[in-house]
């Protein structure tokens, strides 16, 4: 039972990333416009943010709008951009009160001005700590106009320019160099990647950052996703043995030391 997991100690993922998929199908199956599925998806976002914060997850990264999503119908994109504004305005107070600081990965500048402003305000507001708090309790990253492949290409361009101008030797380039140039530079690697909606693909999300993430796919459509589903994913994660190239015996030995 997902609700009884608090009874035993869980190995909690430090960084959870979610591909929130299935909004369109949720709406269509009810004879509604796709936008209604996105609206209902905002409820699931609120619930997941609250549960992650309560459980002590340090980083939560949500795939809200991909670079590829610009190819969707104009009306749907507009509905999503308006929903982001509503989300930013409605959730600001609670996020700040809970010391959750919001930031964006991807490219905020590609969003329409009214959406960009609302998200910028949310970032500014939540990055100021509430009274009586000395450090943020959770970082909520919204992936907007995000593409993992583009992050790699942009980083490579900057690194190549630095190498050409003599700031950097090619032999000094390592994965850390690349990571520091990503829009995710302030985030640790992903521990648990969840995708709802039944598809089993990454859709260009956090490609390098998820190199060693545990993947969890569920058929639940995002608007139906609840705390119990999230805790289920945490329980599965906790049961996985993360070997990072070592043998199971090595991992067990390291644990008892």
Question: Residue numbers of the site for ligand IPE (CB under 6 A)?
Answer: 19-25, 63-66, 68-69, 80, 197, 199, 201, 203
Partner from Mg ion, ligand IPE, none contacting 162, C-beta within 5 to 8 A by type? none
The smaller minimum CB distance to ligand IPE, of residues 94 and 204, is found at 204
Q: Looking at beta carbons, which pairs linking 4-11 to residues 24 or more positions away fall under 8 Å?
A: 5/231, 5/234, 5/235, 5/238, 10/234, 10/235, 10/238, 11/237, 11/238
Answer yes or no whether residue 26 interacts with Mg ion by CB under 5 A: no
Looking at 69, 121, 189, 228, which residue is catalytic?
A: 69
Question: Quick one: which segment of 4-12, 14-22, 92-100, 228-236 binds Mg ion (CB under 5 A)?
Answer: 14-22
**Minimum Å distance from CB 64 to ligand IPE?**
6
The smaller minimum CB distance to ligand IPE, of residues 61 and 139, is found at 61
Residue 191 is among the residues annotated as catalytic for this protein = no
Residue 121 is among the residues annotated as catalytic for this protein = no
Partner from Mg ion, ligand IPE, none contacting 20, C-beta within 5 to 8 A by type? ligand IPE
* Residue whose beta carbon is closest to Mg ion: 21
The smaller minimum CB distance to ligand IPE, of residues 96 and 148, is found at 148
Answer yes or no whether residue 21 interacts with Mg ion by CB under 5 A: yes
Catalytic residue set? 21, 69
């Amino acid at each position: 039972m997902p609700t009884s997991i608090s009874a035993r100690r869980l190995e909690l993922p430090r960084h959870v990333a979610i591909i929130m998929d299935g909004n369109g199908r949720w709406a269509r199956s009810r004879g509604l416009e796709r936008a209604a599925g996105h609206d209902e998806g905002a409820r699931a976002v609120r619930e997941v943010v609250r549960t992650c914060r309560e459980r002590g997850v340090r980083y939560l990264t949500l795939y809200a709008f991909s670079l590829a999503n610009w190819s969707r119908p104009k009306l749907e994109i507009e509905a999503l951009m308006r929903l982001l504004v509503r989300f930013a305005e409605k959730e600001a107070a609670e996020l700040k009160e809970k010391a959750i600081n919001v930031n964006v990965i991807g490219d905020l500048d590609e969003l329409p001005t009214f959406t960009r402003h609302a998200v910028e305000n949310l970032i500014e507001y939540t990055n100021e700590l509430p009274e009586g708090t000395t450090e943020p309790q959770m970082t909520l990253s919204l992936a907007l106009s995000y593409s993992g492949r583009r992050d790699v290409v942009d980083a490579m361009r900057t690194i190549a320019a630095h190498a050409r101008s003599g700031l950097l030797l090619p032999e000094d380039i390592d994965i850390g160099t690349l990571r520091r140039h990503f829009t995710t530079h302030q985030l640790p690697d992903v521990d648990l990647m969840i995708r709802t909606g039944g598809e089993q693909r990454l859709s260009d999300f956090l490609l390098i950052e998820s190199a060693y993430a545990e993947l969890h796919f569920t058929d639940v459509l995002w608007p139906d996703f609840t705390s119990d589903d999230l805790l289920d994913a945490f329980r599965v994660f906790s049961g996985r043995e993360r070997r990072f190239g070592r043998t199971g015996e090595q991992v067990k030995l390291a644990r008892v030391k």
